[in-house]
Every structure is written in C-alpha cells, then in structure tokens.
Amino acid sequence: MRAMRRPLLRVVLSGFLLSTVLLPACRSAAPVATKATARRLVLVSHDGVGADLAWSWIEEGVAAEPQGLHAMVESGFAARRVRMVNPTLTAVNHISLATGAEPGTTGIVCNFFHLVDRPITEGISGFSAPIHAQTLWQAARHQGKRVGVLTWPGADGTSPDRRGDFGLIWPARPLARSKILELDPARAGHASALPSADGVEPLVWTVSLELGKAHPSKVPFTLTVVDGTDDGVPAYDTVAVTPPGADGPKILERPLWFDVATRATGPDDTRPHRWGAWCKVLRLDRLRGSVRLYRGEVYRLIGYPGSFDDRLEAAVGFWPGPPDRNGLARWWLDPAQGIDLDTFLEQLERLDRYLDRVGAWVVGNEPFDLLMAYHPNPDEYEHIGLIREKRQWAWSPGTELAAAEGLKRVGRSFDRSVASWWKVLDPERDALVIVSDHGLMPLHDTVNVNRVLANAGLVKIDTSGRRPRPAGDTPMLAYASGGCAHLYLNLAGREPGGVVQRAGAPSLLQRAARALADLDSDGEPVVEAIWNRDEAAGNGLGNPDSGDLVVFLRPGYTFSTNLSAQTAIEPSRYYGQHGYLNTHDELCGICFARGAGVPHERPDEIPATAVATLVSRWLGMSPPANAVPY
C-alpha cells in the first residue's frame, strides 16, 4: 500500500514545487510576504478528514471552491500528513491538538475509559474527563487574548478551565428523538385552505412536534396534500405545511424539507429558547395520498455567556442537529426502512451551512484573538458510509458506488466550509488553520471484548437485573472505543473494592492477552497490538488511568463492550472506524493554513502535538505549558 501511494504523492507535490522552490525551506526562516503574526486566528477541526482523503479531494477536483482547500495549498502551509497520537480517537486527539501534549500527559487516553481511583464499574467519557495539561484556549486567555470556542471536543463549559470567553457547547442530547410517521389517508381530515384540482379530495393531518420534558411538551402543526396541478390527471402532487402559529399553509419545494420551531423551556433551561426540528416528507403516494414523514430530532443552540447565546440564536436559529446515522444504517440494509442517502446528506449539508453561518456571524460580530471551531461531518458520514469491501454487511456493487459518490459530496461540503471561513476573514491580518483528528478505515466486524474476557473467566457479569452489568467483584473490565480497548484490573488498594491482589496481577493479564491474541475471524487474527504499562508509556500513553493492558484491533474490526453479546465476533452495521494504531497512514489527519503569520511550507509529516505550537507561533503567543517542543 505504501509503495503504491508514493508515486501519487510525487504527482501532488510536483504541482506546487515550482512555486515553492525559491522560498526558504527552513521552518524558522523569515516568512515571505506575510505579516509576522496574525491579528486573529481561526482554528477549525473537521472530524475524520484523513490526509489521504483530503489530498485525493484536491487532486480529483472534488475540492473545487476558489477559496477552499486548493487555495490553502497554493498560498499557505500544507502538511502532507499529520501523525495523530494513539489511540486515533476523537476526544484523545482533539485534546492533544489543543494542548500539544501526548495522551499520557493530558490524561485523555480513550473516548471512554476508567479512572483507577473509582470503582471498576465506573467509566468516564474522554470528552468530559479531567484534562491534565494546559489547552490553547487557557494559554491564550492567560496571555491576555480573547478566545471563542465553538463546540471543540473537551470544551464543554462545565468549569472555567473548559471554556473560552464565549462559545458554544455541543448539544449532545436532543429533546426528542427522530421518528418516521406513516400518515394514513383513512385518518385524515378534508377541510383544506388549499384548493385541490381534478376532483382529488384534500388530505389534512395534525401532527405534533414532541418536546419531551420541555414546557410546552408538544406543538401541533398541520400537513396537507392536494392535487395542485389542474391538468386533468388526478394525483397527489403537492404538500403544504402550516407551522405552529402560522396563518395558512405553505407549499413545500422538493426535496420537501420544512422546519418546525417554537419557544420552549427545556428541562435544563432557565429561560425559554428557540427549539426546533427539521422534518421531511420522505414519500408521497400519488394515488392514495399517504405520506411517510420524517420528524427530526429537536435541538436548540447552547451558547455562553447568555448575551452571546441570545444574539447568535436570533441570527442563526435553532441547532439543526447532526445527520441521522441510525436512519442511514437501517436504509443500507433495507430501503423500506430508515432514511435514504440523499436525506442523510441533506442533513449533513444543512449542519455544515449552519456552522458556516455561525462562523460568519461570530467573525463579523464578536471580538476575538483566537477562535476554535469544530465540524463533525466527515466522521459522521464515514462511520456509516465507508462501504468498499465485500465482507461488509451492507456491501453490494450499488451500495459501494453510492457510498463513494456520497463521500465526494461530503468533500464538496467540507471544501465549501473552508472557503466560507476564508471569505469572512481579512487575508492581510487574519489566519485560518484547518485540521482534523484522524482518518477512518473500512469496518466489517465487531469484537465483543468483555464477552471474550468473560468466556476466559476474567470478567464477571451480574445477570440478576433487567440488563447484564459488570459485577462489582469482577477481576477485570475492558473500556473501549473504536479499535482501542483499555483493560483494567480490579486491583485491591487501587480501585475501591478491588479484588485482585498485586501478586496475582501478572498471570491475569497474561491470560487476558492470550485470550485476545488467540481471537481469529476465519483464520485471520483480529488483534494488532497488546501493550503493557511500560509499552504504553513508551508510546505516549504513560498515565495511571491508562489500562493495565492497552489493546489495538487490526483495521476492519471495532470493539464493543456490550455485555449482552453472546458471540465474540459479529458483523458490524457500521462501516468505518478509527482508534487503531497511528502507524496506519490512512489514519493520519490534516493541517492546512493560510493568512497573516503563516509561512509558505510543505512539510511531509508533522506530529499532532505540533499543531498547538504552530498555532501559537502564528498568533504570536507562547505555546500551551505542556506542549511537546516543535
């Protein structure tokens, strides 16, 4: 694979060799034709954009925006690849990008792991666990700069250390889940404000937007279908929606999306906010008039401080939510279920355009020196849309083709976001830095790690309740995300209630390593590496809260810690994954930059821990305190 990519790399590089040959090659040389440092710097992370993928978008013309990725390569800093830290997971790498430190230093060692001074059954999210290193937003504020942080992973606003001067928190939980409603003509009313032609009787349904535990708890709206064309052919061809509080129906244009929004007070709100959902008519039966309606998840924007939240909400409206991965997962396997690929991509593009508007509004209305922003979408798509191997459950020649075209559409939307940021910045005084946290690789099977360990007598499961749970006296337990698991002993004197004596630890760990190393799928081993604490420390994961063993799967497999699983390995209904060893080039991320203070450079490879230092240098400040020197 490596040998095959090298010639491609040369082709990519030769395109800009002419323009770079006269420029100084040394990083510390004086930049040419740029201001010494940026007045304002915007650092944007696009989750899941692998370096190889980004460069293929540039080479193949997918990234074709005049001020998009291509322009960044031509006029600024462009690393061929960024070697991410292990494990190649979102929380882990976003915190290492933001601190310049290895996970062993930051303490964020997995997307989900265990703090060893807590009972063995307690896990913690890497997105909310304590960060033991100084972040860019802290360093900048400490140096008198004003910082905005827009949904950057880890900046969850829960303490002064985890927020900027202003920012957005990722809305993790909708007020209500999405649902597909089948609207039956037999249950429709017929009193319509819209005329219907050709003798077709109008159909009118009242549907509720459910708001869960908010006040009010639901908001009704009406959906009307009629024959809107007086052409002598009786057929339902027109859909109209009457939103809450509106005077009359509004006819929908294809692709038949509409939003339903209202002011409501959510269970965690101190005052009313604008909550809403994007809904779509997935199917209209022209003969019977029946409708399949997708009612999207209900969200609001979550900003701080309150004045920023109010002004931004008034400017950009409610948070549209991420694309519906479960809906697409169902559709790949059965087109009568879930949501189709177009609908998923329309949701994805809506979130990108919304984030573009948020960015433009912030740049135009809010003073800052450093702005850190986050786009989730490439990762959202690849987890469900990296269909390219026959052994994947949803694979067929058609799904592979559709999935590949879908990925290009994701690339175009990403490129449009890059261009959108650049257009609102001042090229003489501002800088834009685009990074990512990892690439993804195709996925076909799930490894139920705690089932494997239970079969080996190493994990004890309590089946007395409604759902199986790890027993408090289990000798061991695995916490995992993607291709990486941390295995913790329930160690007496470390974990409260620990049951394993130190003398017995080595043999238990040996048995666990053996059980995992022996796992195979059709004769193929599924585990790539098993590290003890010393080996983990030698690879940047030296931290008390790292597992007693750290296990990496081979690409193609993902861990699940599901205790209900009966089999060790089963087919995955998701098709892309990460968290594997960072030595796989496909998992490398990106770093492109242009603008004031940014030199014209083409490093072949930089480590993820260099990004915080580069950003600090370009902004003219000292790097975060724990950053690895670069």
Tell me the Ramachandran region of residue 113: left when phi exceeds 0, alpha when psi lies from -120 to 50, beta otherwise: beta
- 373, β-bridge pairs: 44, 150
Q: Based on the shown chain and the rule CB under 5 A, indicate whether residue 379 belongs to the binding site for Zn ion.
A: yes
Question: Closer to Zn ion at the Cβ: 47 or 601?
Answer: 47
Among residues 52, 437, 545, 586, the one that binds Zn ion under rule CB under 5 A: 437
Residue whose CB is less far from Zn ion, 327 or 482: 482
If you compute the radius of gyration of the chain from its CA atoms, what whole number of angstroms results?
A: 26
x/- mask, Zn ion, residues 198-237, rule CB under 5 A, reads ----------------------------------------
Binding region for Zn ion (CB under 5 A) out of 88-96, 139-147, 322-330, 549-557: 88-96
Do residues 349 and 369 touch, judged by C-beta distance below 8 A? no
Minimum CB distance to Zn ion, residue 79 (Å): 18
Smallest distance, Å, CB 455 to Zn ion?
31
User: Binding of Zn ion at residue 297 (CB under 5 A)?
Assistant: no
Quote the least distance from Cβ 438 to Zn ion, whole Å.
5
Q: Name the residue number minimizing CB distance to Zn ion.
A: 90
Piece in contact with Zn ion (CB under 5 A), picked from 56-64, 227-235, 372-380, 532-540: 372-380
Angle in degrees, CA 155, 149, 588, rounded to 5: 75
Q: In Å, how far are 302, 395, 441, 576 from 446, measured between CA atoms?
A: 34, 16, 14, 12
Distance CA 250, CA 278 (A): 15
- Min CB(97)–Zn ion separation in Å: 11
- The CA distance from 151 to 171, in Å, is 9
What residue spans of 66-135 are helical by DSSP H? 69-75, 90-99, 103-106
Closest to Zn ion by CB, 90 or 178: 90
In angstroms, give the least distance from the CB of 372 to Zn ion.
15
Rounded CA-CA distance 481/558 in Å is 8
Is residue 47 at the binding interface for Zn ion, with CB under 5 A as the rule? yes
Q: Does 111 bind Zn ion (CB under 5 A)?
A: no
Does the footprint of Zn ion cover residue 377 (CB under 5 A)? no
> For Zn ion, which is the closer residue by CB, 90 or 392?
90
Interface of this chain with Zn ion, residues 553 to 592, rule: CB under 5 A: none
Range in contact with Zn ion (rule: CB under 5 A) among 86-94, 250-258, 288-296, 421-429 = 86-94
Judge contact between 221 and 245, C-beta under 8 A. no
- Which residue stretch of 49-57, 342-350, 371-379, 412-420 sits at the interface with Zn ion (rule: CB under 5 A)? 371-379
Residues 113, 123: Cα–Cα separation, whole Å? 5
Among 45, 67, 90, 474, binds Zn ion (CB under 5 A): 90
Token pair belonging to 603: 């490093």
Number of residues lying near Zn ion (CB under 5 A)? 4
Closer residue to Zn ion in complex, CB, 349/437:
437
Q: Where are the beta strands (DSSP E) in 265-348?
A: 273-284, 291-295, 303-304
Selected range binding Zn ion among 125-133, 210-218, 367-375, 432-440, rule: CB under 5 A? 432-440
Q: Which stretch binds Zn ion (CB under 5 A): 31-39, 85-93, 246-254, 318-326?
A: 85-93
| CA distance to 86, 189, 258, 287, 521, per residue, from 236 (Å) | 55, 15, 18, 6, 52
Residue with structure tokens 């692709």? 255
Element (H, E) at 407: helix 397-424
- Integer Cα distance of 498 and 148 in angstroms: 43
Q: Which helix (H) or strand (E) holds 353?
A: helix 341-365
Least Å distance, CB 89 to Zn ion, is 7
Residue with smaller CB distance to Zn ion, 340 or 379: 379
Residues engaged in binding Zn ion (CB under 5 A): 47, 90, 379, 437
